[in-house]
Amino acid sequence: MPYFTLPAGLPRAIVSIVQPWQCVGRGAGSLSSRVLPVVLLLGSLAGAAQAQSLKGPAGADSPAAVSSKGKLSGSVVHEKTGLPVEFATVALLEQTTGKTVDGAICDDKGRFLLTKIGAGLYKVTVTFVGFQPRTVENVAFITEETVVDLGAVKLTPTVQQLGEVKVTGERELVENKVDRIVYNAEKDITNTGGTATDVLQKVPLLSVDLNGNLQLRGSANIRVLVNNKPSAILASNLADALRQIPADQIKSVEVITSPSAKYDAEGSAGIVNIILKKNTLEGVNGSVNASVGTRGASNSITLNSRRGKLGLNLNAGSNLFLNIARNESLRTDFLPENRQSTLEQRGNFTNVGGGGFGQLGLDYDPTPKDALNLSVRGNIFGYTNERQQFTRYAQPEALDVYNRDIDTHSDSRNLDLNFGYTRTLPRKRQELSFLTLYTVNQGQTDYDLSQQRYADARSYEDYRENSFNNNRNREATFQTDYVHPLDSTRTVEVGVKGILRNVGSNYRIEADSLDGRGRVLVPARSNEFRYDQNVYAGYLAYGFAVGKTLTFKLGGRVEHTRIDGDFVGEQVTLQTAYTNVVPSLQAAWDVAKDQKLKLSYTRRIQRPSIFYLNPYINTSNPRNILVGNPGIDAELTDSYELGYNTYINKSSITFSGYWRQTNNSIEAVSRTVPARSILPTSDSTLVLLTTFQNVARNATSGLSISGSTKLTPKWNLTANVNIWYVWVKSAALNLENGGSMHNANITSAWQFDNGWTAQFTGLFNSRAVELQGRSSGYRSYNLAVKKELFQKKGSLTLAVVNPFNRQLIFRNRLDTDQFTYTDNSYFLNRNVRLSFNYQFGKLENRPARPKKSIRNDDQKQGGNG
């Protein structure tokens, strides 16, 4: 395509492509091809090119135009409502040759004006995304001073009412973009009625186990965002947070493996951004979703309203879940003089929980160049876990046998307040934004423990214990970004950001006293911990092109971190400060038509979240104890990636080779220690203590292959394979481990006649290598059938999760010179789920405005809390 200098108003018109076509596609029912976004984009660019290609004999660049005083004016309006169509493209062409003479972009009132038009016969074409093009023929300018007013030029929308028009465009299930992979979750019918955990399992490069532990290319060092924004609830308990987000609310998931300097430097493996559905079309509309299954239920409602400059979005809902599992483990401790002790444990648990969520968003455009957005989102979530655990600890001199009933209850409350202001400046792509975010999460986890022993063919209670752990996480963020285009190919981006984070944990244990006074506080296992972490950052990025095939983006980011923590009940404090310089490089080469080669390098930081820092000693299983480490430092990781993307007929395929290295990796470290070194007891037997330390060098190299194809007009196939090798070595502990791993997913969908669709999804994850052992892989299969109802306004979906496996088995093993440990868990996973969706309301086309929001990509996430 030849190069054109586009008008200053075009960026907003192009931005308007993104959300309207997505909402139109969703509202109009089943989409049947992938060409819609391409057609819309090319149509908008072509209209703009026409408006700027002033090469006619009386065009604005010709000598005749200098003396011409002819004028053409008018307005562009919606045929049905009479409302103005903002930023439509108007082109003036010669009637006989079709050669472009002049052009313009309408203002926010739909008005346009062309001047310096010479005598002649012309035609006027008006185009805008979402509307049918309109041409006014035989517009005559008799003299050099003719003035023509076309009045109101009416455009007919391509989509008039929900479900009435069949749209022929369709997004792929997986899109490979220059800097990210996008999984369009709303197109995967097996997600219906599930949660964010179900969705993330199917995203290329990601893997999620049934405990909610999320990994990107085998690394858990990632940052998860919702609508480009962080949330305190994600930092405190990622697994629970993912269960709170219904799959029906998720529009797409973005995986960014090489973030630029504009992003926070944390998240060594990359960023996962969950985009929730949001409607920007004119009018009032909404949807209702309900789902019921053998392992959970959910319901939600969404309402959208937009009139003129003001838009409102409201959604609310609730969800319930049920997990049933059993567990068995065996640990052998190696004692002096070639002796051994063995610990056998087995048990089962039932986990029941759920919660509710609500979100209110407001968009206001006071002028064509100003955009304000305000949103508030809240969540409540809780669960109850009832566990029975049998323990048999055999030593050379003694045998200890007992059973424990442990009832755990957890509640959390989360609130996010976000405000953004974006100013579009006169130059094309020039933009200034101010963003603020306040987020708070408060949680409480308690358990009641009862221990029974056996004697004389009867059981009796010999010990009771209560645990109380209150925690909170507050964040206030301020961010300013400025984009300045130097010319059509060079752009400078600069910004500053501050994150003020306050984390606290207050925990206490009450246990039966030895003197019969009932339950009393155990001071050695109780304390209050406060942790402040402030991050101040600035970045500079420069993007440019060399010729028509090479593009580059260079950037640097400086982050200063200050940490201040203390144990309130003790004279123990933690204070540190450090500054990191984070470079980044991204390059892309258009090798040939439909072929692209990408190269990137970035350095990333991984600060530990509260999951790793919380010094709470969890002794619900007194033989296996977990405790956080408030003294661990941030990780530094260097990442390199080379990617190749090509399109062949109706297929696309992407290859990515990558390598990353972390020299001070945060690893879980387990060792056996005497019980009396941790607990207020005289017991000298051994317990397994697990904590976190910066003790390893972690190097990973791998290859990712992803592709999609349309085997027939109605049969789509998408597949992703990731193979990597990891080597973990700790000189401090004299430990090392390595091995190859892989994960893959495949999705096959078939569209039948009469509104029927069927889909199969398979997920495959190999075992994972850890510093001291290996954790298990798993396989899962999903089948779904969908039937559209009520003229495509509604749908009914039946999904079966793991129809071929009643349960998933996870086998984990640790090997050290102190002990060997095997743990097998069996989760009931087969699930039958029936879901109903109904969409209502009238949709009218409206251009989207640029909105920005804060991204806090800066903390290492914990596992399942």
The 3-class secondary structure across 241-267, one letter per residue, is: HHHHCEHHHEEEEEEECCCCCCCCCEC
**Would you give the end-to-end CA distance of the chain in angstroms?**
53
pLDDT exceeds 80 at position 763: yes
Name the residue with higher pLDDT: 685 or 491. 491
Give 612-618 contacts, CB < 8 A, sequence gap 24+. Answer: 612/666, 612/692, 612/860, 612/862, 613/503, 613/531, 613/565, 614/471, 614/505, 614/529, 615/505, 615/527, 615/529, 615/567, 616/469, 616/505, 616/507, 616/529, 617/525, 617/678, 618/467
What pairing do the DSSP bridges indicate for beta strands 270-276 and 222-226?
parallel
Mean pLDDT of 460-487: 90
Q: E-assigned strands of 547-606? A: 550-567, 572-592, 595-606
Cβ–Cβ under 8 Å, residues 452 and 462 = yes
pLDDT at 219: 62
Q: Could you tell me the pTM of the whole model? A: 0.64
Phi, psi of 423 (to 5 degrees): -115, 120
Mean pLDDT of 764-790: 87
Beta bridge partners of 230: none
pLDDT at 231: 53
Closest alpha carbon to 391 in 617, 621, 682: 621
pLDDT at 806: 82
Q: At what angle do helices 36-52 and 10-27 cross, to 10 degrees?
A: 150
Highest mean pLDDT among 62-76, 79-93, 549-563, 835-849: 549-563
Instruction: List, in order, residues 6 or more apart from 281 with CB less than 8 Å away.
Output: 20, 23, 24, 27, 304, 306, 843, 844, 845, 846
Residue 817: burial class (beta carbons within 10 Å; 0-12, 13-18, 19+): exposed
Assign 177 a pLDDT band (cuts: 50, 70, 90).
low
Whole-number Cα distances in Å, 281 to 424, 437, 787: 21, 26, 26
pLDDT at 446: 93
Whole-number Cα distances in Å, 11 to 428, 494, 804: 6, 19, 51
655 CA to centre of own chain = 22
Mean pLDDT of 48-69: 43
DSSP annotation of 277 reads P
Assign 13 a pLDDT band (cuts: 50, 70, 90).
very low
The rounded percent of the chain whose pLDDT value lies above 70 is: 77
Task: Assess if CATH 2.60.40.10 describes domain 10-155.
Answer: yes
pLDDT at 823: 92
Closest alpha carbon to 665 in 239, 269, 273, 209: 269
Query: Cα–Cα distance between 729 and 234 in angstroms, integer?
Result: 30
pLDDT at 213: 60
The label of the residue with tokens 């307005």 reads 75
Assign 5 a pLDDT band (cuts: 50, 70, 90).
very low
Cβ–Cβ under 8 Å, residues 362 and 312 = yes
pLDDT at 560: 93
Closest alpha carbon to 348 in 274, 308, 404, 304: 404
Assign 80 a pLDDT band (cuts: 50, 70, 90).
confident
Considering only CA atoms, give the Rg of the chain. Answer: 30
Residue 816 tokens, joined: 């050290």
Give the tens place of pLDDT for each residue, 573-597: 778 888 989 898 989 888 887 788 8
Query: Cα–Cα distance between 324 and 303 in angstroms, integer?
Result: 35
Name the residue with higher pLDDT: 16 or 326. 326
The label of the residue with tokens 């990617």 reads 643
Rounded (5°) CA angle 324-328-330: 160
Cβ–Cβ under 8 Å, residues 95 and 121 = yes
pLDDT at 479: 93
Rounded (5°) CA angle 600-605-610: 140
DSSP annotation of 682 reads -
DSSP annotation of 815 reads E
Instruction: List the single range of 81-85, 128-132, 158-162 with lowest mean pLDDT.
Output: 158-162
pLDDT exceeds 50 at position 264: yes
Q: Is 764 left (phi over 0), alpha (psi -120 to 50) or beta?
A: beta
pLDDT exceeds 80 at position 193: no
pLDDT at 200: 74
Instruction: List the single range of 22-36, 125-139, 758-772 with lowest mean pLDDT.
Output: 22-36
Mean pLDDT of 466-495: 91
Mean pLDDT of 681-703: 86
DSSP annotation of 13 reads H
Mean pLDDT of 608-629: 79
Name the residue with higher pLDDT: 35 or 378. 378
DSSP annotation of 186 reads G
pLDDT at 12: 32
Give the tens place of pLDDT for each residue, 198-213: 777 667 667 664 445 6
Cβ–Cβ under 8 Å, residues 321 and 243 = yes
Residue 471 tokens, joined: 């925690």
pLDDT at 240: 53
pLDDT exceeds 50 at position 6: no
Amino acid, single-letter form, for residue 761: T
- Looking at every residue in the chain, the average pLDDT score rounds to 78
pLDDT at 9: 33
pLDDT at 218: 54
pLDDT at 575: 81
Residue 219 tokens, joined: 């690394």
Assign 75 a pLDDT band (cuts: 50, 70, 90).
very high
Beta bridge partners of 832: 800
Query: Cα–Cα distance between 825 and 808 in angstroms, integer?
Result: 8
Query: Cα–Cα distance between 406 and 122 in angstroms, integer?
Result: 83
Mean pLDDT of 668-682: 81
Question: Edge-to-edge strand order for the sheet containing 70-78?
Answer: 111-117, 70-78, 147-155
Task: Assess if CATH 3.30.930.10 describes domain 283-841.
Answer: no
Query: Cα–Cα distance between 156 and 77 in angstroms, integer?
Result: 9
Instruction: List the single range of 169-183, 690-704, 807-821 with lowest mean pLDDT.
Output: 169-183
Phi, psi of 524 (to 5 degrees): -70, -20
pLDDT exceeds 50 at position 57: no
DSSP annotation of 489 reads S
pLDDT at 229: 58
Query: Cα–Cα distance between 45 and 53 in angstroms, integer?
Result: 12
Whole-number Cα distances in Å, 325 to 210, 212, 570, 827: 11, 15, 40, 4
Give the tens place of pLDDT for each residue, 42-52: 333 333 333 33
Closest alpha carbon to 92 in 111, 113, 62, 108: 113
Cβ–Cβ under 8 Å, residues 121 and 112 = no
Query: Cα–Cα distance between 206 and 223 in angstroms, integer?
Result: 12
Assign 746 a pLDDT band (cuts: 50, 70, 90).
confident
pLDDT exceeds 80 at position 10: no
Whole-number Cα distances in Å, 463 to 68, 237, 411, 620: 99, 30, 26, 12
The label of the residue with tokens 């450090």 reads 578
Query: Cα–Cα distance between 15 and 819 in angstroms, integer?
Result: 59
The rounded percent of the chain whose pLDDT value lies above 90 is: 24
Mean pLDDT of 515-524: 80
Assign 160 a pLDDT band (cuts: 50, 70, 90).
very low
What pairing do the DSSP bridges indicate for beta strands 70-78 and 147-155?
parallel
Assign 260 a pLDDT band (cuts: 50, 70, 90).
low
Query: Cα–Cα distance between 138 and 124 in angstroms, integer?
Result: 9
Question: Edge-to-edge strand order for the sheet containing 174-176?
Answer: 174-176, 181-183, 250-256, 270-276, 222-226
Domain coordinates in residue numbering, the chain: 10-155, 283-841
Cβ–Cβ under 8 Å, residues 126 and 139 = no
Mean pLDDT of 73-98: 85
Name the residue with higher pLDDT: 480 or 273. 480
Cβ–Cβ under 8 Å, residues 516 and 236 = no
pLDDT exceeds 80 at position 808: yes
3-state class of 752 per DSSP? Answer: coil
Instruction: List, in order, residues 6 or more apart from 10 with CB less than 8 Å away.
Output: 48, 105, 428
